[in-house]
Amino acid sequence: MSADSKGPIQASVKCPICTENYNKSTNSPLVLQCGHTVCKQCVRALFNQERQVICPVDRKKDSRSLESIPPSLQILELVEYITKMQDEIEYLKLSPEEKEQRRKRRFAERKLAFEDAIGRARSHVEEIYQNRDAVLQTMRGHFQEMAQALGTRQQELETQIQVATEKHLEGYVALRTQAQARLESVQGLIEEIDGTNPIAVDAIDIPRVRDLEEDVPTQEFHLSFICKEDEVLSLIKEVGKVAKAHQIQVPYECDNFTNVTYWMIPPCCYQYYCCNKCHDKKEKHSWQYANRMVCMYCDYDQSYRKLPNVCENCGVQHKGVSSKH
């Protein structure tokens, strides 16, 4: 390739302002509205001075924002092709020994890159297991505390029932002792009276069992809970939540509303829902007004407040939603 034919190609892969070669990062070639190409760094410098881009070649203005100016994919492909060709030309110029050394060096570099990638993967795997173990330990600790609290409460109720039972039995024990004493007293009187005198026996006052039992009130045990048992069981089944098991794209795309950035937790089922319509579509029971909400940005559970409001954890603002229909 001659110097004359090489010049235009080399010029097309260089920025006309800084003369740096184009690349995919800081010197990415951006195509202005006039059709000329300038690297990203120079476009940013021009934009910072005039708050708009003026082409350095024909002085035409480009009022677009930096983010909306597209890169030249054709030039990027050309840069990649030229770089590859230059590497191949340089390789052909090498002696057989230098080529062998270069092949060994590239193999060593690739091997090192693979080893680094394997090391990073192992590190990530270890982090995942460590995170899992920490979460499991925390979860087990919470459930152990709950189990201990339930066991303590059960023991307290059993003690109350046992104390009430013993107190009630004391009355019947006293009744039995009293009845036994009176029975023995009557038995003694009967033995003293002559068996041939039935009138004297009938005159003896023998206590009736019913009269004695009236002295001890009847006692029944009724166990009742402050809250309904099915509600307690439902709440227990919903205790805890595995957070960030998967990434959620926010704002969440609800079927019925836009700008949804939080979950609502209604007390009717304690499930996560973006709106009452999605709830009614899935559940068979009626919607109850939510008293909890979860931020979709940080997954923080907090009390539901009137919108707009600010997340108590990450500070993001939750605005009101708009209907799609």
Predicted local confidence at residue 2, as pLDDT:
40
Q: Which domain holds residue 46?
A: 3-93
Predicted local confidence at residue 246, as pLDDT:
47
> What's CA 158's distance to the chain center, in Å?
38
Same structural domain, 252 and 313: yes
Does 102 map to a domain? Answer: no
Last residue within a domain, chosen from 75, 93, 111: 93
Does 184 map to a domain? Answer: yes
Distance CA 60, CA 36 (A): 10
- Give every residue of the chain whose pLDDT is below 50, as ranges: 1-6, 246
Q: What is the pLDDT of residues 92-140, one digit of tens each?
A: 888 888 888 888 888 888 888 888 888 888 888 898 889 889 888 988 9
Task: Say whether 38 sits in a helix, a strand or coil.
Answer: strand
Same structural domain, 272 and 308: yes
Same structural domain, 244 and 324: yes
Same structural domain, 76 and 31: yes
Does 135 map to a domain? Answer: no
Torsion of CA 208, 211, 213, 217, to 10 degrees: 170
Task: Say whether 293 sits in a helix, a strand or coil.
Answer: strand
pTM over 0.85: no
Does 7 map to a domain? Answer: yes
Same structural domain, 254 and 220: no
Distance CA 254, CA 272 (A): 13
Same structural domain, 208 and 236: no
Q: In one letter, which amino acid is 42?
A: C
Please name which of 78, 79, 66, 80 lies closest in space to residue 30, comparing C-alpha atoms.
66
Same structural domain, 277 and 314: yes
Predicted local confidence at residue 112, as pLDDT:
87
Predicted local confidence at residue 3, as pLDDT:
39
> Looking at the 3D structure of the chain, how many domains does it have?
3
> What's CA 247's distance to the chain center, in Å?
10
Distance CA 104, CA 152 (A): 71
Same structural domain, 7 and 45: yes
Predicted local confidence at residue 210, as pLDDT:
57
Same structural domain, 243 and 323: yes
Predicted local confidence at residue 212, as pLDDT:
57
Q: What is the pLDDT of residues 210-228, one digit of tens each?
A: 555 566 666 666 777 767 7
Predicted local confidence at residue 56, as pLDDT:
86
Last residue within a domain, chosen from 157, 191, 226: 226
The strand pairing partners of 265, in sequence order, are 292
Predicted local confidence at residue 239, as pLDDT:
75
Same structural domain, 238 and 322: yes
Does 177 map to a domain? Answer: yes
Torsion of CA 263, 269, 270, 275, to 10 degrees: 10
Same structural domain, 36 and 55: yes
Predicted local confidence at residue 250, as pLDDT:
53
Dihedral sign for Cα atoms in the order 223, 229, 235, 236: positive
CATH number at residue 30: 3.30.40.10
Last residue within a domain, chosen from 179, 206, 226: 226
Does 35 map to a domain? Answer: yes
R_g (Cα) of the chain, nearest Å: 44
Does 108 map to a domain? Answer: no
Number of residues written out for the chain = 325
Same structural domain, 241 and 323: yes
Does 109 map to a domain? Answer: no
